[in-house]
Amino acid sequence: MELIGMEKNEHSLKLENRSRLTVTGVTDTDKFNENSVLLYTCMGELTVKGKDLRVGLLSVETGDMVIEGEINAVIYGDSQVKGPLGFVGRLLK
């Protein structure tokens, strides 16, 4: 996905009261449910864990995402992975 309106390597997080997380530089999402959100940024994998999580906004044009709910953890993964792995990639991981 080509990001429009921002530099490809621009990424930030803003956490408000542990209940609203704004993420910029989102390049792709993998999966999300009420307990975790796995997404990819221009800086690599990012996992958000918590309770009653929901995606309030996801803009493909700007690469912005808002996650709301009880946020307990924000965890960076591999900085080289910028999108979901295919079937073969998951087997080799």
Q: Which of 8-12, 26-30, 85-89 has the highest mean pLDDT?
A: 26-30
Compute CA distances 47 → 4, 6, 22, 32, 72, whole Å.
23, 22, 13, 9, 11
Please provide the CATH number assigned to the domain covering 12-83: 2.60.40.2000
Task: Say whether pLDDT at 51 is over 70.
Answer: yes
pTM above 0.85, yes or no: no
Residue ranges of the domains in the chain?
12-83
- Give pLDDT, residue 81: 66
